Amino acid sequence: MSRTRTYTLPTKPAPIPDEFPLHELSRNLTRSHASTDAADSQSTQQVLTSEQAANYNPDEDYPEGGYGWVIVAACFLNAAIWGGINYSWGVLQLTLVQDKLSSASTLSFIGGLSSACISAFATLNSNLVRRFGVRNCALAGSLLVGFAQIFSGWTTKNLGGMFVCSGFMMGVGMSILFMAGSTLPSQYFKRRRGLATGIVFSGSGIGGAVMSITIEALIQRFGIAWAFRIIGIIALALMCPASWMLKERVRPKKGSFFEWRLFRDPKFTAFFFSAAIGLFPLFVAPFFLPLYGSSMGLSTTSAAGLVAGFNLSSAVGRIGFGQIADYLGPINSLTLALTLNAISLLVIWPVSTSLAPLIIFVVVNGTANGGFYSCIPSAVGSITDSSRFASAMGLLVTGWAGGYLMASLHLSRAGAPIAGILLSAYGGVDSGLKPYRPAMYYAGSLTCASLGLLLLVRFNANKKVLVKV
């Protein structure tokens, strides 16, 4: 049986009605093409934006001002308060000795303990800053410092309580504030980083001068207990608002507790040991100046004036070297500071057998010491990126533990640092000026060792001499 196949013929397309406006059809087609082009353009812009975000490097985009100056002012104020209280411990200590709380050597250890805590808790606090943010940590540090002083007002007859409040509690608070304040300005400044950091670090010196006078006046009028409490209230009233103003521009990367990977970089490793060794000699001059002046036959007033001049020179050096770092580079400026320190210890101090050359030594050494402190954060920022800056500073300051520990041992007289051992071995303070020379050469030699390691970092970064590093 044959199968029948059916075919369907194509029909003609329906004619366009006469009443359909052809110009309207042309307009609709034009709009369709335009919307398609706009969508393609928007998609391209979105792709470019995402690529720019992925390739954005915060280390290449610094505000160089603006809110950064608010950060600097807030960090300066915090440093002036906690640094001023710390540097004024001697004023409080004198009254506590007169009130028979304990001996001067025992009470001196409280001041040394609070300073040592800055280094001992540096790595822990840098991790806290990474996890909880600089504002929260600074507020916590401000509360610790403020309430440490308030609680100390109830421990003026209790030595153990004074150790806990003015020693440990105060030290932990200072350590948190130090880590927050020393790292944050470098996120906002690159070209002016040295100046910004120098201003922040000068706060402790300026605060020490103001706070010592303030505390003495409070003691004379209200007594030692209320002096502690009033200082604590002042600290809370000023530092809490300042800490609230702090905020990161770049949130630090979360990583391991110890960023050991930083030591894979030879530059950071050499810099770490340079800074650790370079800290030791910084304490020799201020600790020995009163004794040296006494051995020269100077009055106690003149000896105290030398220490005051040293602290003033240190404050000037912190700002001055910060400004120099912006022109010469932080590594070059730190090299200059260590060079001046070595010259003052090995050349000027040994021949300072009269007041005039001793004043020159005080000015040069104090300025160089201040330059060391102000150049360190900028130098760390130049060899690490912003996201790891807090971790790098934490490790670096932890490396200062030995120097701070030796300082606290010297202050407490529970033990003697190497310079003190040398002084005693060669005759002591009652044998004239000659026994001081081994201590001078010891301090100068350590400075030279620190300088040698820093030069490795300097010429590893750039072998040219006349270049900003």
Q: What are residue 56's phi and psi, to 5 degrees?
A: -70, 130
C-alpha torsion sign, points 447, 286, 400, 187: negative
From first to last of its 469 residues, the chain has per-residue pLDDT tens of: 444 455 444 555 455 454 445 555 455 555 555 555 555 445 444 443 444 444 445 555 677 778 899 999 999 999 999 988 887 887 788 788 888 888 766 777 787 788 788 888 888 888 888 888 899 999 999 999 999 999 999 999 999 999 999 999 999 999 999 988 887 887 888 788 888 888 998 888 788 778 878 888 899 899 999 999 999 999 999 999 999 999 988 766 665 556 778 888 889 999 999 998 998 888 778 777 877 887 888 876 777 678 778 878 888 998 999 889 888 999 999 999 999 999 999 999 999 988 999 999 999 999 999 899 889 988 888 888 766 777 788 888 888 876 666 655 554 443 345 666 777 777 766 667 888 888 889 889 999 999 999 999 999 888 888 888 7
For residues 36, 39, 43, 44, the Cα torsion angle rounded to the nearest 10 degrees is 60
